[in-house]
Structure 1
Amino acid sequence: MLKLLLLVLCCGNANSWLAPNRSNEFEVTEEGYSRWLKQMGDYKHSSLFQEAKNKLKPCKTIKVDKTGSGKFRTLQKAINSLPVINNCRVVIFVSAGIYREKVDIPAYMAYITLEGAGADKTIIEWDDTADRADANGHPLGTYGSATFSVNSPYFIAKGITFRNMAPLPPSGALGKQAVALRISADMAAFYRCKFIGAQDTLYDHIGRHYFKKCYIAGSVDFIFGNGLSLYEDCHLHAITNSFGALTAQKRESLLQETGFSFVNCKVTGSGALYLGRAWGTFSTVVFAYTYMDKIITPTGWTVFYGQYKCSGPGANYGKRVSWSRELTQQEAKPFISVDFINGHEWLVNL
């Protein structure tokens, strides 16, 4: 029988849902927390995102094959061949093979679909880290370390692996963030894709995103950013030998409508894993109907935590942090469907 796991991560401030106690420390208030939760569940009334105008009927197809049987041998050359402003759906078929290249899709090239031969067959890889120098001798930074960068809206990827080959860094190492994919645009969808890396694997930067039946592996903050994203039927796998963190969500204001929701997922791997760290003041993460292996640390979160009918050995909430909460199914409802990302507007018939 399916069980519901619901986790909300946030930090807040004294004027929203925290109040000072007798020791002049802050603690959660029931009234403040209920008020915050209602605000968080009101995404469907969002006015901060543009109206969806997706285009799904292809106007052009391109084949990429590293052996030379396609029009292009590299993915970046195929992308560079598109018009300066692309206004129709272009499908790029990427044949099986390992494509060792750093790929960037500029903001003006919307409506691109990448279709691989399967995530185990079509692999795009590079090995940059944040401390590596760019052409001008400056550090790339986390943003620039990505193997694959998407800056244009309405992007779709199917059956492809995005991999950063940088080795697993020692605990506490500086400048070793190594992003496999950075999505910095609105209304992007990923189906049966894999994201492989160590520290900072998937940069879910900004915009509304949908991940379906994807595999995401990493060590520290391996899903991070300030996107409004739904992860459905995904496998999240930790590779750390010490302590790691699965998410680092960066919502910094009540005016932002962002957060990560994981539905029908599973969490496995090695080491001791926190479910998340608060990167922003109002960091928000939800897990529902999710299996958790024994690698989850008993405290679960570094800040706020709520749980309802968990499953798996890592879901035992007996030793969770003292400020953990159980949420009702009604409270969880806004977070566990495509309405969370306004998906009924732009995910139709994908």
Structure 2
Amino acid sequence: MNTIKILLWLVFAAQLLACAHQPGASYDAVVTRDTYLLGKPGHFNRVQAALDAAPVGAATPFKIFIQPGDYYEKLVIDKPNIQLIGAGMDKTRILFDAYSGQVSEPGKTWGTRGSGTVIVRAADVQFHNLTIENSFDFVSNDALENDDPQKIRHSQAVALHLDKGSDRVLAREVQLLGYQDTLFVDAGRAWFDRNKIAGNVDFIFGAGNALFTDSEIITRIRGRDSIPHAYVTAPSTQIADEYGLTFIRCKLTREPGVPDNSTPLGRPWHPTTDFPDGRYADPNAIGKAVFIDTEMDAHITRDGWYWMGGTTRDGGKEPFMPDDARFFEYQSHGAGAHKNAKRRQLTTEDAQHYTWETLMGDWQKP
């Protein structure tokens, strides 16, 4: 009799556990690998299936809980008010391995803009407690000689892309992993709070207004020696926009093997753009990147910033210098913090304008 009672109790406990993950007050959908739960309404085995189930144009958040596991998917979020919530950045991982030069369909490649593991084209999207990764093997490809026929020439591989249409995007306690071009913030406003973001070449870049608070920015190894080794940012902020990439109370760290004095804080990206008189580097992309009260390890270069080439009207190349961009620091500290003429400093009065409310405008703080 006792054995029967124990079995009944175990069944009841399992049902309670399952109900705890049922869509309802906490979540509108659950992504799971549990075959028992997959038979229940609102449960899906793929993140894309849960996104497909979300309403179009919802006025309130549609919350999707993603249970622990690796989900090999390439996602486009084009519906507003979507929230992807994982079980922890070390437990829930969305990954894909597309890269710029990879064929996406006959006659076409992904390009940098299409390579993202997750691409956002809607407002009020949130990410919590998960990892988004582009798992393309950049390091092995980087190690190949330039004349090796196996070497991939267009190796940009984005993890998260905030594309046109995105705005008021929040990522909190999220890990973004990649190498070249990890995080493409190209539109709208975004807040990255208490995150880990890792990469090497221009791994935080774009024209958007993105605020990074209390986050770890990790420079990763390469497959071969390169001078510079990496670049933390490559903003392409339009001159008409007051804010670009802003880092407050962050830590700039590195993987073992990243040399001292090897990684500039950023370089000015002038994207090649179509104009009525030709295709050339956008002269209005006067990038802005600001580091405030940020700890910097010794891999950050003494000069702080670097130049970047851009396309001329005749198809050639011209250098864009960091002095012509809007690059500033305030109260940097650590082994990589240096004060010199090449690392321009904000005044205390200027720095006081860099608050969440000032940068994010009429976005109600989530």
TM-score (norm 1): 0.77
Distance (Å, rounded) in 1 between the aligned partners of 2:92 and 2:357 = 28
Corresponding position: 1:160 with 2:179: no
> Residue 61 of structure 1 is aligned with which of 28, 33, 44?
28
Corresponding position: 1:331 with 2:350: yes
Unaligned runs of 5+ in 2: 1-23, 147-151, 271-284, 307-321
> Residue 214 of structure 1 is aligned with which of 195, 200, 219?
195
Corresponding position: 1:290 with 2:312: no
CA gap of 1:177–1:209, structure 2 versus 1, over 3 A, is same
Counterpart for residue 251 of structure 1: 237
How many Å apart are 1:104 and its aligned residue?
1.1
Q: Given that residues 157 and 182 in structure 2 are in contact (C-alpha distance below 8 angstroms), is that contact kept between their aligned partners in structure 1? A: yes
Q: Given that residues 291 and 328 in structure 2 are in contact (C-alpha distance below 8 angstroms), is that contact kept between their aligned partners in structure 1? A: no
Instruction: Select the structure of larger CA radius of gyration.
Output: 2
Corresponding position: 1:311 with 2:333: yes
* Secondary structure of 2:217's aligned partner: strand
Counterpart for residue 175 of structure 1: 154
Counterpart residue type for residue 269 of structure 2:
W
Q: Given that residues 93 and 130 in structure 2 are in contact (C-alpha distance below 8 angstroms), is that contact kept between their aligned partners in structure 1? A: yes
Counterpart for residue 94 of structure 2: 124
**Alpha-carbon deviations, 1:118-149, whole Å to 9, x = none?**
00000000000000011233011001100111
Identity %: 31
How many Å apart are 1:226 and its aligned residue?
0.8
Counterpart for residue 14 of structure 1: none
What aligned pairs does 1:178-197 form with structure 2 within 5 A after superposition?
Answer: 178-184=157-163, 185-197=166-178
Corresponding position: 1:273 with 2:295: no
| Structure 1 segments (4+ residues) deviating >4 Å | 57-60
Corresponding position: 1:90 with 2:66: no
**Alpha-carbon deviations, 1:56-106, whole Å to 9, x = none?**
x98961111123325100000111122343333110011010001111112
Distance (Å, rounded) in 2 between the aligned partners of 1:214 and 1:307 = 21
* Secondary structure of 2:109's aligned partner: coil
- Which structure carries more relative contact order (alpha carbon 8 Å, separation 6+)? 1
* Secondary structure of 1:330's aligned partner: helix
Counterpart residue type for residue 291 of structure 1:
E
Q: Given that residues 263 and 336 in structure 1 are in contact (C-alpha distance below 8 angstroms), is that contact kept between their aligned partners in structure 2? A: no
Distance (Å, rounded) in 2 between the aligned partners of 1:130 and 1:218 = 16
Counterpart for residue 204 of structure 2: 223
Counterpart for residue 54 of structure 1: none
What is the Cα-based RMSD across aligned positions, in Å?
2.1
* Secondary structure of 1:327's aligned partner: coil
Unaligned runs of 5+ in 1: 1-56
How many Å apart are 1:339 and its aligned residue?
2.2
